[in-house]
Amino acid sequence: MGYDLLCIGDIFCDMIAKPVKRLPKANQQAITGIMVNKGGEAANTACAASMLGLRTAFIGRAGNDAIGERVLEKMKECGVDLFVKRDEKKATAITMAIAWGKDKRAFISSEGANAGLGPEDVDMKLIDKSANVMRGGIWHTSGLLGENRRILKEAREKGKETSMNLGWDPQGWGKERRKLILDCMRYTDILFLNEEELKALAGREGAKKIIGLGASMIGLHQGAKGSTVIAKGIKIKSRGLKVTTANSTGAGDVYNAAFIYGRVKGMDLDEIAQFANTAAAMHVEGEGDYLPNAKEVERRIRE
């Protein structure tokens, strides 16, 4: 069986605090609800894509523990085919997510088994069978940091559309680490990232530099402001929907999945931007770890 999308990268157990008005001061406390969900950029994208209706596979590593069992079962429930190695030495990764004020978030993570994901885990036969190949959780899967260029290059040479979700570098965007990412742009069709990440990666040149290095397009996450799709000679701004935030964690991953869905279905870039924005907004306002299907997103757009 072939796949519309193959996601390669991180998987986490997310412990997500529901938004509070403001962060408590040192040694003080705030009370709110806490959710325990599956997480990780690549794993979230795979689940969101599968729920939208794409045939989706995921390559990653999880610990051989109860937490790993829980998050992998959640992925199976979403319909994702799993190619996951269970690590006997490292625990399943965990992230604590905190949200406050207007669209402010912070994360504290233990990378766990993700750090052990290596080139031996990436089955090139799966790439052969997949139309789209996406790398997520770049910084959390350090064992593949030096392999990304090769993986994306081989996928591109096999005629696959490639994408990368960047995320924030917890080690401070050092020159050598940035170079490892910039060297991948020649083989990256879509780079997903937010405004702060774009500035940290490419400096003042921003999108111009990324496109100049060979990336076909950028899907720029802009939170409540919506998103912008940037390609050579193209800049499409799509405004965000007004929603009441229930869970903003993973919204960018839902956007990425919906963007790729649009590519698979042959939508034009204007339609893709609107579809991806709407799917992400529906996730943000949904209870728990709500992931919309394509018909729900289309209905919301019509409304």
Q: What is the pTM of this model?
A: 0.93
Structural domain containing residue 260: 3-10+39-90+114-302
Provide the 10 A C-beta neighbour count for residue 207. Answer: 18
- Contact yes or no for 20/48 (Cβ under 8 A): no
pLDDT of 126 reads 96
pLDDT of 274 reads 95
pLDDT of 105 reads 83
What order do you get walking across the sheet with 130-136 strand by strand?
A: 81-87, 56-63, 3-9, 130-136, 161-165, 190-194, 217-221, 226-231, 234-239
Give a yes or no: residue 33 inside a domain: no
What is the arithmetic mean of pLDDT over 120-136? 96
pLDDT of 297 reads 96
What order do you get walking across the sheet with 34-39 strand by strand?
A: 34-39, 12-17, 93-100, 104-110
Give a yes or no: residue 192 inside a domain: yes
Q: What is the pLDDT of residues 190-240, one digit of tens each?
A: 999 999 999 999 999 999 999 999 999 999 999 889 999 999 999 999 988
Q: What is the pLDDT of residues 23-54, one digit of tens each?
A: 999 999 999 989 899 999 999 999 999 999 99
pLDDT of 102 reads 74
Domain count, the chain: 1
The residues, ordered by sequence, that sit 6+ positions from 83 with a Cβ below 8 Å of its Cβ are 57, 58, 59, 60, 123, 126
Q: How far apart are CA 213 and CA 216, in angstroms?
A: 9
- Contact yes or no for 105/97 (Cβ under 8 A): yes
pLDDT of 103 reads 72
Region of residue 7 (left: phi > 0; alpha: psi -120 to 50; beta: else): beta
Q: ∠ CA 202-116-178 to the nearest 5 degrees?
A: 10
Q: What is the pLDDT of residues 152-193, one digit of tens each?
A: 999 999 999 999 999 999 999 999 999 999 999 999 999 999
Give a yes or no: residue 97 inside a domain: no
CATH number of 166's domain: 3.40.1190.20
Give a yes or no: residue 280 inside a domain: yes
pLDDT of 72 reads 97
CA dihedral 112, 115, 121, 124 (to 10 degrees): 130
Give a yes or no: residue 235 inside a domain: yes
pLDDT of 241 reads 85
Q: What is the residue-wise DSSP string for 90-137?
A: SPPEEEEEEEETTTEEEEEEE-GGGGG--GGG--HHHHHTEEEEEEE-
The larger pLDDT score, comparing residue 281 to residue 1, is at 281
What is the arithmetic mean of pLDDT over 113-137? 96
Which structure tokens are listed for 57? 């596979």
Residue 86's closest CA among 71, 97, 105? Answer: 71
Instruction: Please determine, for residue 242, whether its predicted confidence score (pLDDT) is greater than 90.
Output: no
pLDDT of 224 reads 86
Question: What proportion of the chain, given as a percentage, has pLDDT over 90?
Answer: 84
CA dihedral 93, 259, 145, 197 (to 10 degrees): -90
Q: How far apart are CA 297 and CA 276, in angstroms?
A: 9
Give a yes or no: residue 20 inside a domain: no
pLDDT of 19 reads 84
- Contact yes or no for 39/48 (Cβ under 8 A): no
Give a yes or no: residue 52 inside a domain: yes
Give a yes or no: residue 152 inside a domain: yes
Region of residue 185 (left: phi > 0; alpha: psi -120 to 50; beta: else): alpha
pLDDT of 249 reads 80
Q: How confident is residue 287, by pLDDT bands cut at 50, 70 and 90? A: confident
Q: What is the mean pLDDT of the chain?
A: 94
Region of residue 211 (left: phi > 0; alpha: psi -120 to 50; beta: else): alpha
pLDDT of 118 reads 96
Q: How confident is residue 286, by pLDDT bands cut at 50, 70 and 90? A: confident
